Structure 1
Amino acid sequence: MINNQKVKGAGQVPNRKAPSGISGFPVTPLNENGTIDENALARNIEFLLEEGLESIFVACGAGEFHNLSKDEFESVVEIGASVVNGRVPFYTGVGGNLSEAIEKAKVSEKHGADGYLILPPYLIDGEQEGIYEYYKAIIKSTDLNAILYQRGNAVVSKETLEKLVEFPQVVALKDGYGNMELNIEFTQTFGDRLGWLNGMPMAEVTMPAYLPLGFNCYSSAISNYIPHISRKFYDALLADDKQTVNEIYEDVILPINRIRKKRKGYAVALIKAGMEIVGLPVKTTVRPPVVPVEKEHYEELKEILENALEKYQPNKKLIT
Structure 2
Amino acid sequence: MDAGTGTTAAEAAVTVARLREGMDRGVLSFPLTAFTDGGELDIDRYRAYLETQLAAAPGAVFPACGTGEFFSLDEDEYRSVVTATVEAAGGRTPVVAGIGYGWAQAVRFARIAEEAGADAALVLPHYLVEAPQDGLVAQLEHIAARTRLPLIAYQRGQVAYTAASLRRIAELPGVIGLKDGHSDLDRLQRLTLAAPDGFLFFNGASTAEIQARAYATVGVPAYSSAVHAFAPEIAAAFFTALRTGDHARLDALLRGFYVPLVELRDRVPGYAVSLVKAAARLRGHPVGPVRAPLTDPGPDDLADLDTLLTAGLDLVGATR
Normalised by the length of structure 2, the TM-score is 0.92
- Cα distance in 2 for residues equivalent to 1:223 and 1:41: 15
**1:127-186 superposed Cα distances (whole Å, 9 cap, x missing partner):** 111111111111111121110101112211111111111112211110001111111111
Give the superposition deviation at 1:313. Answer: 2.5
- Cα distance in 2 for residues equivalent to 1:52 and 1:199: 19
What is the aligned partner in structure 1 of residue 174 from structure 2? 169
- Cα distance in 1 for residues equivalent to 2:254 and 2:11: 42
- Cα distance in 1 for residues equivalent to 2:213 and 2:314: 25
1:211 to 2:216 alignment? yes
- Cα distance in 2 for residues equivalent to 1:224 and 1:236: 19
- Cα distance in 2 for residues equivalent to 1:190 and 1:306: 42
1:258 to 2:266 alignment? no
- Cα distance in 2 for residues equivalent to 1:205 and 1:65: 24
What is the aligned partner in structure 1 of residue 279 from structure 2? 274
1:290 to 2:294 alignment? yes
- Cα distance in 1 for residues equivalent to 2:315 and 2:125: 39
1:27 to 2:32 alignment? yes
Kindly indicate whether the alpha-carbon contact (under 8 Å) linking 1:45 and 1:84 is maintained by their aligned counterparts in 2: no
What is the aligned partner in structure 2 of residue 188 from structure 1? 193
Q: How does 1:102-113 map to 2 (within 5 A)?
A: 102-113=107-118
Kindly indicate whether the alpha-carbon contact (under 8 Å) linking 1:16 and 1:169 is maintained by their aligned counterparts in 2: no
What is the aligned partner in structure 2 of residue 311 from structure 1? 315
**Which 4+ stretches in 1 moved above 4 angstroms?**
none
What is the aligned partner in structure 2 of residue 7 from structure 1? none
Q: How does 1:1-320 map to 2 (within 5 A)?
A: 13-14=11-12, 15-17=14-16, 18-19=19-20, 20=23, 21-190=26-195, 192-283=197-288, 285-314=289-318, 317=319, 319=320
SS in structure 1 at match of 2:96: strand
- Cα distance in 1 for residues equivalent to 2:196 and 2:239: 22
Q: Which has more helix, going by share of residues?
A: 2
Normalised by the length of structure 1, the TM-score is 0.92
Structure 2: unaligned runs, 5 residues or longer: 1-9
Aligned residue pairs total 304
**1:52-101 superposed Cα distances (whole Å, 9 cap, x missing partner):** 11100001000111111111111111111111111111010001022210
SS in structure 2 at match of 1:33: coil
**1:3-34 superposed Cα distances (whole Å, 9 cap, x missing partner):** xxxxxxxxx93513145141000111110111
Give the superposition deviation at 1:191. Answer: 5.5
Kindly indicate whether the alpha-carbon contact (under 8 Å) linking 1:174 and 1:198 is maintained by their aligned counterparts in 2: yes
- Cα distance in 2 for residues equivalent to 1:221 and 1:193: 26
Give the superposition deviation at 1:212. Answer: 1.7
Kindly indicate whether the alpha-carbon contact (under 8 Å) linking 1:149 and 1:173 is maintained by their aligned counterparts in 2: yes
Q: Give the counterpart letter for 1:301 in structure 2.
A: L
SS in structure 1 at match of 2:27: strand
Kindly indicate whether the alpha-carbon contact (under 8 Å) linking 2:166 and 2:194 is maintained by their aligned counterparts in 1: no
Kindly indicate whether the alpha-carbon contact (under 8 Å) linking 2:166 and 2:195 is maintained by their aligned counterparts in 1: no
Give the superposition deviation at 1:307. Answer: 2.4
Q: Percent identity?
A: 30
Structure 1: unaligned runs, 5 residues or longer: 1-11
SS in structure 1 at match of 2:197: helix
